[in-house]
Amino acid sequence: MIGQCVIKGRIHYVQATKFPIYRGNEIAGLVGYFIDRDSIGKIRRDNQELDMKDAETGLLNYRGMFITAIHYFDNYKSYGENCAALFMDIPALDDVGRLYGMAVRKKLISRLAKLISHFFRQGASIAHLGGGRFCVLMKAENTADIRRRMLDLSNEIHGIREEAGRQVTLFLQYALAMISEARTVDGLFHLLARRLTEAEQEKYGESLYYGDRIAFDRAVFDNSRDQIMISDPDTYSLLYMNKAGLRDLGLPEDYPYAGRKCYELICGQPSPCEICPLPFLRRDRFYTQTFHNMNTGGDYLIQHTLITWHGKNGHFELATNLGSYAEGDYRKKYLLFQEMAVNDALAAGITAPTPHEGIDRLLARVGKILEAEKVCIFEEQGDGTVKNTYEWCAPGIPPSQASMQHVPMELARPIYDRFGPDQIAIIDDVEEVQKEYGICSGDYRPGLKRLISGHLVISGLSLGYTEVVNPSDKIMKEASPLLDTLTRFAASLIRNRNVMDRLQALSHEDQLTGLKNRLAFMEYVEGLPAGTKTAFLFGDMNGLKQINDKEGHEAGDRALQTLAAIAGELVGRDHAFRMGGDEFILAAQGADEERAQQLAAELKGKLHLQNLSMALGIACRTAPITDIDELIMEMDRKMYKDKKHPRK
């Protein structure tokens, strides 16, 4: 048992344990002991804090950071929230200790710890790993802001010129990685350590303040629109190729290009190109040439130079696809059309009176913009199936929503597997993909030739997907940005719909019993179709006050819940209403007076088995019922008559 007691003038939580002592077969007494839970908890917390805290700075130590990183990693795997990790090193800190003594080093490291904590004070986990090394973990989706902060922090650290009257010169080296780049925490820390070693070898931190070197972050190359390639000028082996270069060659972003000969992979030739510019390359200038690639059919403007790459000479090429720029005017016009189309679709969804109608309007706009036959929304049901909840059809296209209510998730797997980083899937040949997955076309949707799909995601949670069926060929390839925006908006509308539906349900539901409430009863009666015969049983539970007084209100609540469960089983939970307190109404559609009496007898019998009873009044009506108050008053009079002279 857990209880409270006063120890030295302060309330403590204590844990009491007791068990019987037997003499023969009889209990002769009790023996027990008490544990001060507050005291044990404090000792445990103190030990844990000492075990995870760096004594020199008060920040986390390596063990504390590793445990924290595990939590960040679990959060990323569960919810998709990305995280940035930084390794920082100030190598000169150890030199300060050797030159000026540990007292000066201690003051300087405390100053640096406060400075780093100031730069990453909001929501970041900071650790001191020994010497001049620090680690920072924080939630982040991109690195742009972090790199700006690191530049400012580098300037602040380099601006420290003296400590305790001693002259110092400090440089900050750092490495940055995202949790999404690694599969494990160990992998993340190994990646950071490797990048930090490379940064220290190249002296990136120092190059910010002296010399004529310019340090480019690799992300600048990775995300460049133009194609960037680095190769070994001695062996022609590829050392680096960015995403644009791989895309231009029709290769996936994870293609293992390292070590391939540049002339083989890029030009499809068995030997170096005749116009290879290697003899003309220098470090102090670019060599420029135009080049028609027979392998890709593209025309390029290429800039060549020599750079240092991992401590060795590298042949750097920046290639601009001239054909893509020739299409610039067309792209601008099409993007303008897309922007107008998106705004039109968003306005249609926002101005709708309900989320349901907003989704319908949104699908209609998407279908017309993309010249599709159908636009649908499939929502995950939590039982291994997806359900077609919304559908728009072009004129002359028959609907299929009714037949797509329990679609096994396996039939939708080709779509989920093709969602890329932008959460859009484009399938040019549905029949070919279905063959790949062993799916018969008749199993899913006949007549489906091509489709575009957007992944419906809210806060990392998958809700389902949109499906644009047989869109226009000429628009399909350019539809991704438009569908991405509209799919995100559709996910927001679905979330709003769910919230409003839940609020609507709560406003019509009795929270204690789970039955419908008085408001729901009024709407139920008003909504009965004309000519519908319905028997109503109005009941008042007997003895609820006595149960509350003798056994407590929790016992009274349990009695009401038992009654509600029996009533719900008898007529269905959507036809049983708690009107307030101990009053209930049961509605039996299609029942006459005789059937109502049978239901009343059955109800009383089941309640009797639970040591409960209820006085009942019965009234029968044929819709429309114009005076609900008169109906309730009639049942109320009959109920009180039954309470004074109960029927068995």
The predicted-structure confidence for 396-452, as pLDDT tens digits, reads as follows 999 988 888 888 888 888 889 888 887 888 888 888 888 887 777 666 667 788 888
* Block residue for tokens 């719909």: 497
- What tokens does 257 get? 């290009």
Residues 6+ apart with CB under 8 A from 377: 359, 363, 388, 389, 390, 391, 456, 464, 465, 466, 467, 490, 494
Q: What is the mean pLDDT of residues 126-130?
A: 91
- What tokens does 440 get? 């018969």
With beta carbons less than 8 A apart as the criterion, state whether 346 and 440 touch.
Answer: no
Q: Is the pLDDT of residue 648 over 90?
A: no
Per-residue model confidence as pLDDT tens digits over 279-326 = 888 877 888 888 888 877 788 889 999 887 766 788 999 998 877 665
Q: Where are the beta strands (DSSP E) in 170-234?
A: 173-178, 227-231
Question: According to the model, what pLDDT value does residue 495 have?
Answer: 81
* Block residue for tokens 């109503």: 536
Question: According to the model, what pLDDT value does residue 460 have?
Answer: 79
Q: Which residues pair with 304 in a beta bridge?
A: 287, 317
* CA quadruple 368, 370, 371, 375: dihedral sign: negative
Which is it for strands 374-380 and 312-321: parallel, antiparallel or unpaired?
unpaired
- What tokens does 83 get? 């995280």
Q: 105: phi > 0 → left, psi -120 to 50 → alpha, else beta; which?
A: alpha
491 vs 464: CA distance, rounded Å: 9
Residues 6+ apart with CB under 8 A from 316: 228, 229, 230, 304, 305, 306, 307, 309
28 vs 22: CA distance, rounded Å: 5
Q: Which residues pair with 135 in a beta bridge?
A: 87, 127
Phi and psi, residue 497, nearest 5°: -60, -45
Buried b (16+ CB within 10 A) or exposed e, 344-368: ebbebbeebeebbebbbbbbbbbbe
Per-residue model confidence as pLDDT tens digits over 328-343 = 444 444 544 555 566 6
Buried b (16+ CB within 10 A) or exposed e, 463-472: bbbbbbbbbe
- Which stretches of 288-375 are DSSP H helices? 322-326, 328-350, 355-369
310 vs 640: CA distance, rounded Å: 93
Per-residue model confidence as pLDDT tens digits over 77-124 = 888 889 999 999 998 888 888 888 889 999 999 999 999 998 887 778
213 vs 454: CA distance, rounded Å: 45
With beta carbons less than 8 A apart as the criterion, state whether 392 and 476 touch.
Answer: no
Q: Which residues pair with 461 in a beta bridge?
A: 458
Amino acid at 567: A
Residue 565's pLDDT band (boundaries 50, 70, 90)?
very high
334 vs 216: CA distance, rounded Å: 34
The gap between the terminal CA atoms of the chain, to the nearest Å, is 46
Q: Which residue has the higher pLDDT, 597 or 42?
A: 597
Give whole-number Cα distances, 108 to 101, 415, 459, 506, 624, in Å: 11, 56, 42, 60, 86
Q: Where are the beta strands (DSSP E) in 352-422?
A: 374-380, 385-393, 407-408
Residue 519's pLDDT band (boundaries 50, 70, 90)?
confident
For the chain, give the percent of residues with pLDDT over 90: 27
Neighbours of 432 (CB within 10 A): 9
Q: Is the pLDDT of residue 217 over 70?
A: no
Q: Which residue has the higher pLDDT, 46 or 479?
A: 479
- What tokens does 615 get? 């006085």
Q: Please give the mean pLDDT across all residues of the chain.
A: 83
Q: Is the pLDDT of residue 204 over 70?
A: no
**CA geometry: angle at 155 spanning 153 and 158, to 5°?**
110
Residues 6+ apart with CB under 8 A from 245: 227, 228, 229, 319
| Best CA proximity match to 194, nearest among 210, 206, 177, 179 | 177
Q: What is the mean pLDDT of residues 621-647?
A: 86
Per-residue model confidence as pLDDT tens digits over 587-629 = 999 999 899 999 999 999 999 999 999 999 999 999 998 898 8
Per-residue model confidence as pLDDT tens digits over 236-283 = 999 999 999 999 888 998 899 999 999 999 888 889 888 888 888 887
466 vs 366: CA distance, rounded Å: 11
**CA geometry: angle at 177 spanning 174 and 182, to 5°?**
140
Coil, strand or helix at 169: coil
Global confidence as pTM: 0.38
149 vs 174: CA distance, rounded Å: 12
Residues 6+ apart with CB under 8 A from 410: none
Q: 542: part of which helix (H) or strand (E)? A: none
Give Cα 56 to chain centroid, integer Å: 38
Q: What is the mean pLDDT of residues 187-206?
A: 80
Q: Is the pLDDT of residue 487 over 60?
A: yes
Q: 83: phi > 0 → left, psi -120 to 50 → alpha, else beta; which?
A: beta
